[in-house]
Amino acid sequence: MTPEIPTIVEIDHVYKTYRRGLQDVPVLFDISFNIHEGEFLSLMGPSGSGKTTLLNLIAGIDRPDRGRIMVGGQEITTLTETDLAQWRGRHVGFIFQFYNLIPVLTALENVELPLRLTALSRKDQADHAHRALKLVNLSHRLDHYPSELSGGEQQRVAIARAIVTDPTILVADEPTGDLDRDSARDILDSMARLNEEMNKTIIMVTHDPKAAERAKILRYLDKGYLDNHAS
């Protein structure tokens, strides 16, 4: 009998509206679905469909107006801002479109940054960062600064930084949006390896159908509504 795969993210009747001036702008309407451990999920949809908003809610960057979000058994919608910040540091790895690397730090130092808030010794921090960079095939670029790296290499450093704390989930917002085709393929290969070899749960927002094809599950948002016919 095949063991049941644990649910890692539960999204239950979530709504989100933003206030712009005197106007309320609804963004998400009654979103409910689950993400299982080890899934590689792609969120697609036209601009303004609510993809990044939903990603930010799952990552604890923003809060829903109504509904409940559970990640790894923790209901994040009830946490205080302080507890939520601590939770993000332990459980969420972020991969952004524009890398967000610190220009005056080397690749190794950028990857070590999330570990500075942990109880690990400096030697253990460096060891963890070395391993993370090795996973994305950048062991030979440890001492290089972001300006000395290609766009694809910078994004791989960002991926190493995202995984160095062994987070519960990885969230990626247009991770290939600023890259050429070959670099984008390398990034998607790295993400696929993390998913397949390390069983990392990845939630990716993308406009690129080629990128979305690398995911195991596709979900579509349109005007704030979820198409429940996932593929």
State both tokens at 120: 């690990």
CATH superfamily of domain region 39-64+79-227:
P-loop containing nucleotide triphosphate hydrolases (3.40.50.300)
Q: Which residue has the tokens 């190493």?
A: 160
Per-domain residue ranges of the chain: 39-64+79-227
| pTM for this predicted structure | 0.90
Main-chain dihedrals φ then ψ at residue 83, nearest 5 degrees: -65, -35
Reduced to 3 DSSP states, what percent helix, strand and coil does the chain have, rounded to the nearest 5? 40, 30, 35
Rounded-to-integer distance, Cα 188 and Cα 175, Å: 9
Rounded-to-integer distance, Cα 169 and Cα 8, Å: 8
| Three-class SS state of 116 | helix
Summarize pLDDT for 173-205 with one digit per residue, the tens.
998 888 888 888 988 998 999 999 889 999 999
**pLDDT over 90 (residue 115):** no
